[in-house]
Structure 1
Amino acid sequence: MKLRRRLGIEWASVALFASLMISALVYWAPLSGFDNLFYDRLSDLDRPKAAEDILIIAVDEDSLASFGKWPWKRDVHASFFEQMAIANPKVIAFDILLSEAGDEIEDQQLASAMGKNDNLFLPVHFVFPGSDGAAFDTKQPINIFKESSSGLGHVNLAFDRDGVVRRFQPCFESRVTKTIWPHLMEQVYRRINGNRSQAYQSIENCDEALLVPFARRGSFATISYTAIAKGEVPAGFLNDKIILIGATANGLGDQYPVPLGDGGTMAGVEIMANMLSGLRTDNFIKPLPFWQQLVISLLPLWILLIGFWRWRPRSSLFVSLGLYLAVLSTSAMLLTLNIWFAPSAALAGLALIYPVWGWRRLQATSEFMDEELQTFRSSNIDIPVGVSAAGPVDVVTGQAEELTHAIAHMRDLRRFISDALSNLPDPMFITDLEGKVIFANKLAQTGLEDGAQDMALDAMLDRFVALEDLADVKDYLTLQIQPTEHDYVDFTSRNDEVFAMRRAPVVSDEGELRGYIHYLADITEVANASQEREEVLELLSHDMRAPQAAILALLNDQQPTDTHRRIEGHARRTLALADNFVGLARIKASEFDGEDLLLSELVIEANDSLWPLANARGIKCAVDDQSDGAFIVGEPSSLHRSFVNLIDNAIKYSPDGTTIDIQLRNISIDKQSFVSVSIADQGEGIAEELLGHLFERFTTDDQGAKGAVKGSGLGLNFVETVIQRHGGSIRAENIRDGGARFTILLPVAPDLETDGEN
């Protein structure tokens, strides 16, 4: 669990870091160079065809040779537009700036010639940065030419970071004047179709740019400017054509890099021809919005992250390679649908996540192995484990070798434990928390051909427990019987053997319950011995007592003589010995079964039972009760006999005509309440050499006894056993003025003690 928790934290950290990194890559696009290269290669696989009705009239090298150095006089353009008016094309886009005034007469001639063409559109160019701190300067045709045209459109090109023209901006918006300028090709499209293009309607603002599907260089029909101006081209050839006029000569500076894969440039007018073709076929490629790009880029990363928890490293590697191909394939597939997904961020995430996760997982595992191996080395194991690596190795290899030795040791230890459990002299089996047997030793498997593994607990019990005891055993296992001092249950087997079943929990090193061990100890001999003991006790309590009682009955019918008194004494001593012996045996063989008792009442009752004996010798027993009606938890029979023994001893060792003081009072020791009972006589006291052994078996001091019946040597041992059984204590001492005192402490009943405090 510790390693799993550590790996979970590492995994979450790596996942967060990688997700943030991919988000940054998508937002700032620092890897756009790879995206552009991949896009160019994919675009080169399927180039669109050039529209046949688009005609480029090029200001080429031949035109410069015919009309001289650029810029030409306005009369050259006037002649050109005169010819175009005769040809009657569908629309004309004149991609040559006329932003500066020339000779007034020539400008008038050009404006007049331009006015003869109904569908003529002129360019507006924006220069960045502008003059005097402005964001840009607007370069429009002079007013005389604007009035002669059908409309204006911007001709700015959008360059990617690598300086290549791939994108088309359908419009340009001035942040200052809020004026929106449609692109020159958008104006041409609207004149042809009478409505806005789908590309224009698909953008949310003028900052959006669409990727242009370029036809191959030179695909559009092209005629030299000079051929038109000189009337060398029949008018019918130009009729109903879309005419795009622009510079193609290298010296005029209107050449730009485009994504054709050959590294060459393309004239601005041919770029606009591709833009117009895209507007007409609506096959522009739209880049995914930021959030869609981010989600798709994160998806393969999270597939791999989740897979790290379920796949082996080799599987994760193969899946990672598969995800690389999936990302590239997805980008290519979407491109066929005119959607552009830039794959670089997703690929970078995959390239980063595998080694970073491998590093963090290896680091966490290495530190965990260090801690576990250190714990393993410090544990008390009797088989050496820490075998050094053979020669210098790196840290992880050294840990792996040491872990190999540790596993080998644990394998040996497991075999040792398995052999030890299998060869136990009594049946033993282990169950899991569902009650299924997961291990059974040889004796527990006796008679089972397939073994006891996977057997249900009830089925295992049916093999051992006799029907009459089965319910008691199941009650014990379900904890319906309260655990006793000896936590086990006895039962008779189907073979009339007697077993004691003990159940113990199987707990992991972290304290988690995993199952239970069930041990069946064969106590047949012990049970037989217990039966024999009961028979002996019956012999003592009945068969031995009966003759003694008969002797006493016969003596009562005779005249008392010294011999009779001696016989009576020995008979009574034999009865006392038998009673004490039986009492001790029964106490040790039975569980404590107490009840609430008023101690003062029990002591007075014991004293009253001995009144004839004390009265015969003129001895007075004075009871001083200061216990305030204190209750204890006790067994009435054994306690009564104990106090009878103590008072009887006091009478026995007291001179005739003396007094025995019996005091009861409440005392508190270490905040626990007790009832103290002291019994003091006025005899000669206890011999000093006997004080330390007074409560041992067969210890007696009959020399000081005044009565006819001598001690058996078991009475005080019985009393001590009973008092200790009740959680109390007994102490004997000699009184300074003469005599002996026995003091007994018994705890007050807990519930009654609590009630008294409240």
Structure 2
Amino acid sequence: MKLRRRLGIEWTGVALAASLIVCGLIYWNSLSGFDNLLYDRLSEYDRPEAPDDVLIVAIDEDSLATFGQWPWSRSRHAALLNQLADAEPKAIAFDILLSEPGDSEEDMAMANAAAQTDNLLFPLHFVFPGTNGAAFDIKEPIASLKQAAAAIGHVNLLFDRDGVVRRTSLCFKDTANGTSNDEIVWPHLMEQVYRQINGESSAIFRRLGDCQQPLLMPYANRGDFAQVSYAAVANGEIPRAFLKDKTILVGATAQGLGDQHPVPLGDGGTMAGVEIMANLLNDITADRFVMPVSTTMQIALSLIPTWILLIGFWRWRPRTTIFVSVGLVIFILSASAILLSLQIWFAPGAALVGLALVYPVWGWRRLQATSDFMDGELKNYRTETPDIPVLQVPLGPVDLVTEQAEELAHAIKHVRDLRRFITDALTNLPDPMFITDLDGKVKFVNKLAQSGVEDGVQDLALDDMLERFVAPEGLEDVKDYLAIDQELREHDYVDFTSVKDEIFAMRRARILSDEGELRGHIHYLADITEVANAAQEREEVLQLLSHDMRSPQAAILALLDGQDATDENKRIESHARRTLALADNFVGLARIKSSEFSGEEILLSDLVIEANDSLWPLAKQRGIKSTVEDYTEGAFIIGEPSSLYRSFANLIDNAIKYSPDDSDIEIVLRSIDLDKQAFVSVTITDQGNGIAEDMLDQLFERFASNDDDSHGTVKGTGLGLNFVSAVMARHGGSIRAENVREGGARFTVLLPLAPEPEELV
């Protein structure tokens, strides 16, 4: 459980960290270099074809050589416009910025030429940042050209972080310069060209929720668009029929004019701005822009492979995980390529980084957690391993993890040896034994428990197992014993007779895990056949003592009753009574050690008075006065009346026996408290010669009597005092003997007071 909890925490940390890193990479576009490079490579396999109706009129090196240094006069452009207008093209996009006024006559000449052309479009562009703190400045064509143009559109390019033109926006929105809640929307020059030709906005423009959304532009191969030199057109070298019904884009292509920009082509070269415009117009016309997925979708798609791998860590083996990881990398790249063919771009960089991050980090954290766990468990193993006769192989010097792995392997081998050792020990126990799980299925049996059941007992139900061992008449008692919770049982075993007439004592013990959880039970059957037979024989002996030996003595006493009290008759009567007392005490001792305590509420003063009264004739015969004084105010105890009565009769009888004639015996009952527990104290004091000092320590031992002279020093009372001591201990009390300073012996009995009725449970 500790390792599982630790790994759960580590896994959660790795999952959260990886997810946050993936989200951060996407949000800050940190992997744009890799994603753009991959996009460029994938784009090479599906480049669009250049249409035949788009023609670039290029201001190239030949044109510069023909007409001189740039910039040219606007009258030169006016002459070109007149020639192009005569050829009746679909539209003319003049991709040259004319935002600054020049010579007024030349400006007017170009404006007049523009006015003669119905489908001429001029560019505008935005300068960032603007002047006087403005966000940007708008550079429109001069007023006369703007008025003469069919439409104007912006020609700003979007550059990625690497300076490559991959994206474009079909419009630019000027919210800051708008009035009220209105906003000024400037369509791109190529969007305006499309509208000029088709009379409506493009499908992609209409479909976009925001026309400023950046779109990825698929590029045709460099040079695929038809291109003629500006000078060739101006000099009439290009037939009018070649220009008819073409969409003509006029722009600079010469290297020295500064309108060259990096584009995502495999050769890594630049492309003239006017050719970029041609590609853009082709994409607008064919509606083949690539739509990047939204940021939310990008995050979701990038996290899915990471979480698949994270979840797989809990289910797959390491070998499976590495194959799945490689498969996920291939899947991500393939999915990105397939989506690109469907004009959707999913940048795979963040998803790949998520996989590349999760696999080694989780491997590191799992290895660290496992290493720490093994280290702790191996330390516990070394301190808790029992000393059994198994071989321990010394380990050589290696790195930490290998050392732990080798030590774990040796520990597992040691556990196998320990298991075999325990199995062999249990199997060869001298008594039957079997183990059950929580479902009551037998999981292990030793040889003796399996003997006679050759069909096997593995997974045998407990009731079926019991029926094979226990005789039918004792089966219910055994089941009742097993049904009682172990902590609530008064007895920790149950006796039963087996089907083979053997007598067993069955004990059940719980099997607990290291965390204290119940896992099963051990059932141990101790063969007590000989013990039970011995107990039966003892019971028969007790019956002999109790009946057969008592009867002759009782007959002797009956014969002496009414006879002359001669010394011989008195001696015979004394020996007969002593034999009866010996038999009663011996039987009493045996019974209290073999039977359960069965107490009831007793008013102790009545019991003591009754015992004293029973010995009144004996005391009167010798002139001894025995009195009972009760200061307990009716104290009750929980006890067995017969054994207590005999105990106090023994004590009073001893007091009479060892007291001189015409003396007094005091019996006093008091209530006392010892260690916050209530007791009843009974003291019996005589006026005899007391107890010999060398007998005080062994007075209550069995057969410790020395009955030389009833009027001499008391040196022991045989089985009588041993019986009294056993009875008091059985009742939770005690007995103490001492000599009184004024002469005589005193026996003090302490018995616990019965609890009040409300205290009884």
User: Residue deviations 1:345-401, cap 9 Å, x none?
Assistant: 1111211222222222222222222222333333453558775433x4212222222
Deviation at 1:685? 1.6
**Contact 2:46–2:341 (CA under 8 A) maintained in structure 1:** no
Instruction: State whether residues 691 and 732 of structure 1, in contact with CA within 8 Å, keep that contact through their aligned partners in structure 2.
Output: yes
Moved more, 663-672 or 594-603: 594-603
Change (3 A) 1:460 1:607: same
Matched position secondary structure for 2:447: coil
Is the CA contact (8 Å cut-off) linking 1:507 and 1:513 kept in structure 2?
A: yes
Classify the secondary structure of the residue corresponding to 2:156: coil
In structure 1, what is the equivalent of residue 93 of structure 2? 93
**Alpha-carbon distance between aligned partners in 2 of 1:5 and 1:503, rounded to the nearest angstrom:** 34
Rate the CA distance shift 1:579–1:277 in 2: closer, same or farther, 3 A.
same
Give distance in 2, aligned partners of 1:347 and 1:530: 83
2:518 paired residue number:
513
> Taking every aligned residue pair, what percent have the same amino acid on both sides?
67
2:395 to 355, 370, 389: 389
Which residue does 1:295 correspond to in 2? 300
Distance in 2 of aligned mates of 1:59 and 1:95: 11
- 8 A contact 2:388–2:418 mirrored in 1: no
Q: Would you say 1:695 and 2:700 are equivalent positions?
A: yes
Which range is displaced more, 29-38 or 525-534? 29-38
User: Which position in structure 2 is the counterpart of 1:541?
Assistant: 546
Q: Is the 8 A contact 1:540 1:578 kept in 2?
A: yes
What is the rounded CA distance, in whole Å, between the counterparts of 1:224 and 1:481 in structure 2?
A: 106
Q: Which residue of structure 2 lines up, in the alignment, with residue 109 of structure 1?
A: 109
Partner of 1:665: 670
- Report what 2:75 is aligned to: 75
2:472 paired with 1:467? yes
Moved more, 738-747 or 55-64: 55-64
Q: Which residue of the partner structure matches residue 503 of structure 1?
A: 508
Specify which of 606, 614, 625 is matched with residue 609 of structure 1.
614
Alignment of 1:298-317 (within 5 A): 298-317=303-322
Greater shift in the superposed pair: 95-104 or 346-355 = 346-355
What's the CA shift for 1:132?
Answer: 4.9
Which residue among 413, 423, 429 is the counterpart of 2:428? 423
- Offset, 1:497: 0.7
Match of 2:181 in 1: none
Query: Which of residues 524, 530, 541 is equivalent to 1:525?
Result: 530
Deviations 1:428-479 (A, max 9, x none): 1112222222211111222344532222222221211112211221222222
Query: Distance between the aligned counterparts of 1:312 and 1:436, measured in 2?
Result: 33
CA distance in 2, matches of 1:592, 1:484: 16
2:448 partner letter: L
Determine if contact 2:97/2:123 at 8 Å carries over to the other structure. yes
Change beyond 3 A, Cα 1:44–1:599: farther
TM-fit CA distance, 1:593: 2.4
Alignment of structure 1 residues 580-591 onto 2, 5 Å: 580-591=585-596
- 1:135-150 counterparts in 2 under 5 A? 135-150=135-150
1:353 aligns to 2:353 (yes or no): no
- The reply to whether residue 199 of structure 1 matches residue 204 of structure 2 is yes
State the alpha-carbon separation in 1 of the partners of residues 308 and 535 from structure 2: 70
Shift of 1:607: 3.0
Superposed CA offset, 1:478-513 (max 9, x none): 226876665111111111111111111222233232
Question: In the aligned structure 2, how far is the partner of 1:469 from the partner of 1:323?
Answer: 67
Deviates more, 1:275-284 or 1:380-389: 380-389
Residues of 2 paired with 1:27 and 1:197: CA distance?
A: 31
Q: Distance in 2 between matches of 1:198 and 1:487?
A: 91
TM alignment of 1:365-384, pairs within 5 A = 365-379=370-384, 381-382=387-388
TM-score (norm 2): 0.93
Counterpart secondary structure, 1:744 = strand
Partner residue of 1:732?
737
> If the length of structure 1 is used for normalisation, what is the TM-score?
0.93
The aligned counterpart of 1:189 is 194
Show the counterpart of 2:15.
15
Deviation at 1:750, TM superposition (A): 4.5
Mapped to 1, the partners of 2:414 and 2:629 lie a distance apart of 72
Q: Give me the whole-angstrom Cα distance separating, in 1, the residues matched to 2:234 and 2:195.
A: 27
Indicate the larger mover: 422-431 or 167-176: 167-176
Q: Which structure 2 residues correspond to residues 29-68 of structure 1 after superposition, within 5 A?
A: 29-68=29-68
User: How large is the Cα RMSD of the aligned pairs?
Assistant: 2.7
User: Is contact 1:573–1:711 with CA below 8 Å preserved after alignment?
Assistant: no
The whole-number CA distance in structure 1 between the counterparts of 2:197 and 2:37 is 35
- The answer for the alignment partner of 1:442 in structure 2 is 447
For the residues of structure 2 that align with 1:425 and 1:149, how far apart are their CA atoms? Answer: 115
Deviation at 1:712, TM superposition (A): 6.4
Q: Contact 2:435–2:522 (CA<8 Å) still a contact in 1?
A: yes
CA distance in 1, matches of 2:205, 2:619: 128
* Cross-structure match for 1:401: 406
The aligned counterpart of 1:271 is 276
Q: Using a 3 Å threshold, how does the CA distance of structure 1 residues 26 and 575 change in structure 2: closer, same or farther?
A: same
Query: For the Cα contact (< 8 Å) 2:738–2:747, is it kept in 1?
Result: yes
Q: Give distance in 1, aligned partners of 2:56 and 2:723.
A: 129
Offset, 1:269: 1.8
* Structure 1 position 11, deviation (Å): 2.0
| Mapped partners of 1:85, 1:160: distance in 2 | 37
- What is the CA–CA distance in structure 1 between the aligned matches of 2:377 and 2:486, rounded to whole Å? 41
Q: Aligned to 1:443, what secondary structure does the other structure show?
A: helix
Aligned ranges for residues 202-351 of structure 1 at < 5 Å?
203=208, 205=210, 208-351=213-356
Offset at residue 275 of structure 1 (A)? 1.9
Do 2:707 and 2:717's aligned partners in 1 also have CA atoms closer than 8 Å? no
Deviations 1:305-363 (A, max 9, x none): 22222222212111111111111122122222222111111111211222222222222
Aligned partner of 2:149: which letter? S
Q: How much has 1:236 moved relative to structure 2? A: 4.7
For residue 175 of structure 1, report the CA deviation from its aligned partner.
5.8
What runs of 5+ residues in structure 1 fail to find an aligned partner?
A: none
Quote how far apart the aligned CAs of 1:755 are: 8.4
Contact kept, 8 Å, 2:47 with 2:221, in 1: the verdict is yes
Indicate if the aligned counterparts of 1:386 and 1:406 stay in contact, CA closer than 8 A.
no
1:652 equivalent in structure 2: 657
Maintained 8 Å contact 2:681/2:750:
yes
* 2:458 paired with 1:458: no
The alpha-carbon distance between structure 1 residues 690 and 435, as it changes in their structure 2 partners (threshold 3 A), is same
Q: Secondary structure at the match of 1:733?
A: strand
1:77-108 per-residue CA deviation (whole Å, 9 max, x = no partner) reads 21222233333333332211011111111111
- The range that moved more, 274-283 or 498-507, is 274-283
Q: How many angstroms does 1:703 deviate by?
A: 4.1
| 2:22–2:350 contact (8 Å) kept in structure 1 | yes
Paired residue type of 1:348: V
Amino acid at match of 1:526: V
Measured after TM superposition, the shift of residue 547 of structure 1 is 1.7
Given the superposition, is the C-alpha separation of residues 588 and 42 from structure 1 closer, same or farther in structure 2, using an over 3 Å criterion? same
